[in-house]
Structure 1
Amino acid sequence: NPNNPDGRIVERKKLLALAEKLRARGGLLVVDEAFMDVGPLGESLAGDVEQGGIVVLRSFGKFFGLAGLRLGFALADAPTVERLEAQFGPWAVAGPALEYGIRALADSGWQAEMRRRLARDAARLDALFGRFGIPVAGGTTLFRYVRLRDAAGLFSGLGERGILLRHFSGRPEVLRAGLPGEGEEWQRLESVLADWSQQREDDA
């Protein structure tokens, strides 16, 4: 929550109601919030874990771009943490990875600026796709969710030109697109989309 790849959000109140039902039966609600750093923070359950019966999973590999650290963490109430520790035992994490994680969480200024930048870039990518008739149906500010009839053609057309989108074999009409990085990458994407669009017109 947010969901990958469509960015769908399950409302916090619905998750809390589900957690209450599970808790009454001795159950546990586990919510993957790996993308919540770019989601609506008011929908996060991170502040609700003390109610019990809730575990929130977070990652440093998405928003913070630190996938190579293989670092994440779970938030839960004290009894649940004790159960997890007893079941999993000691979990070795490298000292440098912990230091990176601590500094990343503490740098609220960087986080705020990155959220603004991602929002701008996501809107820019939506507009660029829109120019070539590619509808954006959702996603987060880290990735965009595209749904179109010729998704396979777009996937192949861009892939042949060195730009990789994520295609889903079980959902052939769906693609997930990451954000370009520097200015040259934006220019390259625009050029490739123009070539793809022209080729479609020529083939029509």
Structure 2
Amino acid sequence: MASRENSKADSQITSEIKLLDNQSLRINVLASVPWNQPPLCWLTPEQQTRLQNHSEIRRYRLGEKIWSNTIGGYQFFLVTGKVRLREEGIGKPLAALQAGDWFGDLQNLAVECKAVAASKEVIVVCWETALWKEVSTPQMESFFQGVQDEQRAEEQRSRGAEEQGEGEIITSSITSPQSPVPSPQSPTLNPTAP
């Protein structure tokens, strides 16, 4: 009888450790999000807290589909790993994304795209697009429009390279527009705050 009780106690402890590890991961991941840089710096402290509270941390393995603009519903920030944007039905990548890059619904890409994990492990923070639309500012819309314009230019360069037989993957950053960045309005929040 005592061994069953010990086994039950051990399993409860294991469950608590996994929960703590997930909470620890969440805290560490949210701390790595650039809250004091565009587009997040244009949010009020209350809006930043709201995004923190409604964020999801997701892990993907090599080759797993992360997002598609045909399904949509989310905006992503790439924390670790690499992601490739691919046109649906075409094998060649349009762009290679790395830690610090944004992708998702707010870019409104001209072609049907999907984002696929391109490294052994990919960790992203994602938010529902509806939440982003609620907290959006003109500055943020300009930021994501700039990202969208840069992605379209990369798509055109990629297609031009394919036509010339080069087929090279574009690897430039897709995180910021070409326009100057205004100063942040709000200080960095403590990601452990409730």
Instruction: Please indicate, yes or no, whether the TM-score normalized by the shorter chain is above 0.5.
Output: no
* TM-score bracket relative to the smaller structure: under 0.3
More helix by share: 1
TM-score by length of structure 2 reads: 0.23
Higher relative contact order (CA 8 A, sep 6+): 2
